[in-house]
């Protein structure tokens, strides 16, 4: 069996070229027997290309490259042709086709797809974090969070956590109830990343009554009584005073508005 050598050359990490090469090779050698794939990532200039072509010629290797800059691609093609080294331009023809089709110039900036991937995975990680540490389920998350929200029931802690998560912030939230002592971790959190959410008793009374009705319950339960709400809010202020964190009145604010307020404060504190 003939030894197959493939050099994957890229101005980024080379993952795209490597996956295409592997997809093609498996049609001949599913187990990659007697096959060598070598990556040359982060190629920045023609000197690097010259050295790679020299090695490829010595080792009788094929060069597969993904270079987004047209001048570098053309240099690679010309040099390989001159040195009689087989090469394949994976991305150039596609960029050229798109350029003709839409009449726009390519950015020629390496690694953009991986920047998008990183951004996507950061968002997913933040969303999963918000779910895991929602409603005070695991106090350990408070010390790992970028943002900590505290407030009484029905102050939009969960939807606000999810909205911030989609902005790549890891958020944990804790409901405050007079009968339950807040977790000790809450008082170890940096006050600058902790935010207390408060709402007017009258507004909260309406929201809680609507919630009870939606659940098929009687709206005169203690949960929605004005005296109970005032007791909870008093407890809330006692806790946030101990924490030393900012308080945001969400009475007439949309979730997006509150989120932007929090983001502005976090960025100012950096």
DSSP codes joined into one string, 191-221? GGGEEEEE--HHHHHHHHHHHHHHTT--TTS
Instruction: Mark out the alpha helices in the chain (DSSP H runs).
Output: 15-25, 46-59, 70-83, 92-102, 112-132, 157-165, 201-214, 226-243, 255-269
Among 33-47, 207-221, 245-259, the minimum mean pLDDT is found in 207-221
Model pLDDT, residue 186: 97
Residue 157 marked as a ligand binder: yes
If asked whether residues 144 and 259 sit together in one domain, one would say yes
Q: Are residues 158 and 45 in the same domain?
A: no
Same domain, 52 and 130: no
Q: Is 154 marked as binding a ligand? A: yes
For residue range 131-151, what is the model confidence (pLDDT) as tens digits? 999 999 999 999 999 999 999
pLDDT at 219 over 90: no
CA distances from 90 to 51, 59, 186, 194 (A): 20, 21, 53, 49
Query: What's the pLDDT band for 120 if we cut at 50, 70, 90?
Result: confident
Residue 161 annotated as binding site: no
Residue 159 sits in the same domain as residue 174 = yes
Return the residue matching tokens 């319950």.
217
- Residue among 38, 23, 103, 98 nearest 68 (CA): 98
Report whether 9 contacts 91 (CB < 8 A): no
Average pLDDT score over residue span 179-193:
96
pLDDT at 113 over 80: no
Question: Looking at residue 151, what is its pLDDT?
Answer: 97
What is the predicted pLDDT for the residue at 1? Answer: 87
Phi and psi torsions of 13, nearest 5°: -85, -15
Q: Where among 110, 128, 162 does a domain terminate?
A: 110
Residues 182 and 243 in one domain: yes
* Separation of alpha carbons 171 and 193, rounded Å: 10
Structural domain boundaries, residue 256? 117-269
Which has more pLDDT, 170 or 122? Answer: 170
H or E element that contains 106: none
Q: Does 181 share its domain with 71?
A: no
Judgement on whether residues 136 and 241 belong to the same structural domain of the protein: yes
Same domain, 94 and 190: no
Same domain assignment for residues 97 and 121: no
Are 59 and 25 in a shared domain?
yes
Choosing from 52, 80, 110, the residue where a domain stops is: 110
Averaged confidence pLDDT in the chain:
94
Count of structural domains, the chain: 2
Residue 7: name the closest of 81, 47, 70, 60 by CA.
Answer: 60
Helix, strand, coil percent content, the chain, rounded in steps of 5: 55, 15, 30
**Residue 211 shares a structural domain with residue 246:** yes
Q: Is 171 within 8 Å of 148 (Cβ atoms)?
A: yes
Does 89 score more than 90 pLDDT?
Answer: yes
Boundary residue ending a domain (56, 75, 110): 110
Same domain, 121 and 245: yes
- Paired strand residues for 259: none
Q: Summarize pLDDT for 224-263 with one digit per residue, the tens.
A: 999 999 999 999 999 999 999 999 999 999 999 999 999 9
Whether residue 151 is annotated as binding a ligand: the answer is yes
CATH of the domain at 151: 3.40.50
Structure tokens at 100: 């003709």
- Which DSSP symbol is given to 248? E
Whole-number pLDDT of residue 69? 95
pLDDT at 102 over 90: yes
**pTM for the full model?**
0.62
Say what percent of the chain tops pLDDT 90: 86
């Amino acid at each position: 069996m003939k030894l197959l050598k493939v050099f994957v050359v890229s101005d980024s990490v080379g993952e795209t070229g490597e996956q295409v090469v592997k997809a093609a090779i498996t049609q001949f050698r599913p187990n990659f027997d007697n096959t060598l794939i070598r990556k040359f990532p982060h190629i920045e200039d023609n000197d690097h290309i010259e050295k790679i072509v020299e090695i490829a010629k010595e080792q009788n290797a094929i060069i597969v490259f993904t270079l987004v800059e047209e001048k570098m691609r053309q240099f690679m093609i010309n040099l390989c042709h001159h040195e009689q080294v087989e090469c394949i331009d994976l991305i150039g023809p596609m960029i050229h086709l798109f350029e003709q089709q839409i009449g726009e110039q390519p950015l020629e900036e390496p690694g953009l797809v991986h920047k998008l991937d990183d951004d996507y995975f950061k968002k997913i990680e933040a969303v999963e974090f918000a779910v895991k540490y929602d409603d005070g389920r695991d106090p350990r998350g408070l010390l790992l969070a970028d943002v900590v929200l505290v407030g009484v029931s029905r102050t939009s802690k969960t939807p606000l956590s999810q909205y911030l998560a989609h902005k790549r912030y890891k958020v944990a939230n804790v409901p405050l109830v007079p009968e339950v002592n807040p977790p000790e971790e809450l008082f170890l959190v940096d006050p600058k990343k902790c935010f207390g959410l408060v709402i007017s008793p009258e507004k909260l009374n309406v929201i809680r009554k609507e919630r009870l009705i939606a659940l098929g319950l009687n709206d005169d339960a203690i949960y929605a009584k004005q005296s109970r709400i005032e007791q909870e809010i008093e407890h809330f202020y006692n806790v946030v005073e101990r924490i030393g964190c900012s308080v945001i009145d969400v009475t007439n604010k949309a979730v997006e508005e509150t989120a932007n307020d929090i983001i502005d404060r976090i960025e100012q504190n950096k």
